[in-house]
Amino acid sequence: MMIKATINKIEVEVEEGTTILEAARIVGFKIPTLCYNPDLKPEGSCGICVVEVEGAPAMKRACMTRLERGWKVHTNTAKVRKARKEIVELILSNHEMDCLVCVKNQSCELQHVASLVGINTLTYPRIEKKWAVDTTSPSIIRDQNKCILCGRCIQICSNIQTVNALTLDQRGFNTQISDAFNEGMGNSVCVNCGQCTVYCPVGALYEKSHTDKVWEALNDPDKHVVVQEAPAVRAMLGEEFGMETGTLVSGKMHAALRRMKFDAVFDTNFTADLTILEEGTEVVGRIKANKNIPLITSCSPGWVKFLETFYPHLIHLASTAKSPQAMFGTLSKTYYAELKGIPPEKIVSVSIMPCTAKKFEAERPELRSSGYQDVDYVLTTREIARMMKEAGIDLREMPDEPADDPLGEYTGAATIFGATGGVMEAALRSAYFLITGRELENIDILAVRGMTGIKEMEINIDGLALKVAVAHGLGNARILLDKVSAQLANEGKSEYHIIEVMACPGGCVGGGGQPWGSDMARRARRNETLFAEDRSLPLRRSHQNPSITAIYEKFLGHPNSEKSHHLLHTHYFKRSPVDGKVVSE
């Protein structure tokens, strides 16, 4: 039903249930907000979006108040402006304002709001820094001194990801965001997905940076620094340089990295293709043996820790194939080292990821098949953008360049790894070939694409009805896994053969290491970018990648060979649902 009301004397007609905030946008008024985020349930904690409604005793919060018939709303009265200013001043009085040295400088929502409401003096004395910074996590730093207690991190962690790592601790003025027992995120069930860092409006949650170490390696003439970039990075690195959301920058990215003096610029897409061969062969084997079905993908390290922590009884279903990042790390210090005649200890393997959990993955003690830590440093999209800027590189000015051989060539199947459903689509393209020996004709498998939380489809491969499911966001993964778990317990088997899970909503394009303010709408656009690159590439099936054929011929033998197993496969651990620590193998 439509209702009529006025906002600043302008008549507005909206669907019943529309908030004042949304209605005001329709008639051209952008009410300032701070705690509000379109992807999350409004909590109304900051109060900056207050407006006056004629006849109402108190001001209303525009973000969470539904416009009612006949209301006369005023968004810009003297009283409203004074209240907003006062609120922002109160927040600033309790905020560690080291803005110039803050990771969020110039992308901080508090900074933005302070300038919007016109703060030009500070009335209240600043409080002293009172909290210790939490550095216990391998991936995420938590600095309470900057927190404004908007609650977004808790919502994304508990309601959307269902990890439940974060909570409000204490009350009133002493309230802080903490993990259960306040022992640090590194000692909690946090899976390092980093969604909290993406949604944090200020600099209270951000990635543990490896930039200094990478600079050090780049400046060390003794080190041979190689770099890989995950599929999703090319779909959003441009945003950090003011380019349109969804601009594809694969070639410019390779060029920029080369100018930063990386000794070899490879591409994670190469090992994404390799993953498909290993995982595809594994799934065909499991189906033939009718064992450990469904196979669940294991590329997403946040997801892997989630599985180990909350579904330890299902870890045998995870594909043993390492993630593309980890395969690359191993190959850079084995295959590439041999080929080049460089001692592996001199190789520094750097990865650029859309992901904070990859930092955790790199430090997993079992991922040392080369005899060294396979991946040394992990930079998020945000970190590499900062480094490029520091190096005086404007991505927009870069030419398009390909990645280096032998770990740089890739197919369209690899590039869609960054989108939800992409791993499944790539796997099906090759599995069809592995089973039938023929190529799948229509390789655009639309049923597994898109932003729907859980997607399912059945594909008939020469009479074998293969049922697959795709979940993105850990909340959706939980729903799917609960179903699988119940099916296995009750019927001894699941209806699914392959399940793809990506920890972050939207897939890697929505990763915890992506540019700040990465909302769901933007994630969908970035997904499109990856599918567009897929369509533009001459080869779109992983098994057709000539460099993949070459590495099997020269080095690995064949998919799932003994050498492959040794170098490219891994195992998982049961973890405690209390603190995420390993309890047994």
Partner 1 sequence: MSDTDTNHECVCAQLSEEELYPRLELIIEEHRNKPHELIMALHKAQNLFGYLPRKVQQMVAEGLKVSLNEIYGVITFYSFFSTVPKGRHSVKVCLGTACYVRGGQQTLEKVGKELGAKVGDTTEDRRYSLDVVRCIGACGLAPAMLVDDDVYGRVKSTKIMEILDQYK
Partner 2 sequence: MNMVRNHVLISIDANTIIAGARAVEDALIKEIARQGLSQEIVVLETGSVGIEDQGVVLVVYPEGIYYTNITPAEVPELVEEHLLKGRVVHRLMLKETPKRFVITKEKTGLMKEQPRIVLKNCGFINPESIDEAIAADGYQAAAKALSSMKPDEIIAEVKHAGLTGRGGAAFPTGLKWEFASKVDNPVKYIVCNADEGEPGTFKDRLILEGDPHKLIESMIIGGYATGATKGFVYIRGEYELSIERLEKAIADARSYGLLGTNIFDSGFDFDITVMKGAGAYVCGEETALIESIEGKRGHPRNKPPYPITAGLWGKPTIVNNVETLSNIPEIILKGAENFKKYGTEKCSGTKVYTILGHVATPGLIETEMGTTLRDIIFEYGGGIKDGKRFKCALVGGAAGAFLGPDMLDVKMDFVNLREYAAALGSGAILVMDEDTDIVDMLKSVLHFFKHESCGHCVPCRLGTARLVELIDRIAASKGTSKDVEGLTRISETMKDTSFCPLGQSLILPVSSSLKYFKDEILARVQ
Cβ(31)–Cβ(75) below 8 Å: yes
Say which entry of partner 1, partner 2, none residue 189 contacts (CB below 5 to 8 A, set by partner kind): partner 1
Quick one: three-class SS letters along 418-469?
HCCCHHHHHHHHHHHHHHHCCCCCCCCCHHHCCCCCEEEEEEEECCEEEEEE
For the record, the structure tokens of 379 come out as: 């930079």
Nearest to 476 by CA among 195, 161, 155, 38: 161
Measured CA angle at 490 (ends 498, 286), to 5 deg: 30
Say which entry of partner 1, partner 2, none residue 86 contacts (CB below 5 to 8 A, set by partner kind): partner 2
Residue 188 CB, shortest distance to partner 1, in Å, is: 8
Nearest to 53 by CA among 96, 84, 20: 20
325 φ/ψ sector (left φ>0, alpha ψ -120 to 50, else beta): alpha
Distance CA 511, CA 501 (A): 13
Residue 43 a catalytic site member = no
Residue 90 CB, shortest distance to partner 2, in Å, is: 4
91 sits near partner 2 (criterion: CB under 8 A): yes
Say which entry of partner 2, partner 1, none residue 164 contacts (CB below 5 to 8 A, set by partner kind): partner 1
Enclosing H/E stretch for 73: strand 72-74
Residue 63 CB, shortest distance to partner 2, in Å, is: 10
Nearest to 509 by CA among 416, 437, 438, 424: 416
59 sits near partner 2 (criterion: CB under 8 A): yes
Residue 166 CB, shortest distance to partner 1, in Å, is: 6
Q: Are strands 224-229 and 205-207 parallel, antiparallel or unpaired?
A: unpaired
Residue 366 a catalytic site member = yes
Rounded to whole angstroms, the maximal C-alpha distance in the chain is: 80
Nearer to partner 1, 22 or 169 (CB): 169
Say which entry of partner 2, partner 1, none residue 182 contacts (CB below 5 to 8 A, set by partner kind): partner 1
Residue 282 a catalytic site member = yes
Residue 358 a catalytic site member = yes
Catalytic, out of 361, 409, 425, 533: 361
Enclosing H/E stretch for 302: helix 301-310
For the record, the structure tokens of 251 come out as: 């070639």
Residue 145 CB, shortest distance to partner 2, in Å, is: 14
Say which entry of partner 2, partner 1, none residue 173 contacts (CB below 5 to 8 A, set by partner kind): partner 2
What proportions of the chain, in percent to the nearest 5, are helix, strand and coil? Answer: 40, 15, 40
Say which entry of partner 2, partner 1, none residue 169 contacts (CB below 5 to 8 A, set by partner kind): partner 1
Site for partner 2 in 171-190 (CB under 8 A): 171-175
Residue 189 CB, shortest distance to partner 1, in Å, is: 7
Residue 474 CB, shortest distance to partner 1, in Å, is: 13
Burial class (CB in 10 A: 0-12, 13-18, 19+), 528: middle
Residue 345 a catalytic site member = no
Site for partner 2 in 21-50 (CB under 8 A): 43-47, 50
Per-residue mark of binding to partner 1, 166-205 (x: CB under 8 A) = xxxxxx------xxxxx------x----------------
Which of 124, 391, 436, 566 is the binder for partner 2 (CB under 8 A)? 124
Distance CA 424, CA 229 (A): 20
Residue 306 CB, shortest distance to partner 1, in Å, is: 14
Which of 90, 119, 447, 457 is the binder for partner 2 (CB under 8 A)? 90
For the record, the structure tokens of 159 come out as: 């309601």
Catalytic, out of 207, 279, 383, 409: 279
Nearer to partner 2, 77 or 219 (CB): 77
Nearer to partner 2, 43 or 240 (CB): 43
**Ordered DSSP codes for 480-517:** HHHHHHHHHHHHSS-S-SEEEEESSTTSGGG-TTSPSS
Stretch that binds partner 1, among 31-39, 157-165, 277-285, 322-330 (CB under 8 A): 157-165
Stretch that binds partner 1, among 57-65, 162-170, 479-487, 556-564 (CB under 8 A): 162-170
Site for partner 2 in 139-158 (CB under 8 A): 148-149
Cα of first residue to Cα of last residue in the chain, in angstroms, is 58
Cβ(360)–Cβ(368) below 8 Å: no
Residue 108 a catalytic site member = no
Which of 12, 20, 83, 347 is the binder for partner 2 (CB under 8 A)? 83
Which of 46, 103, 165, 214 is the binder for partner 1 (CB under 8 A)? 165
Distance CA 381, CA 354 (A): 5
Catalytic residues: 279, 282, 299, 319, 358, 361, 366, 508
Applying CB under 8 A, the residues found at the interface with partner 2 are 43-47, 50, 58-59, 61, 64-66, 79, 82-83, 86-87, 90-91, 93-94, 123-125, 148-149, 168, 170-175
Applying CB under 8 A, the residues found at the interface with partner 1 are 158, 164-171, 178-182, 189, 578
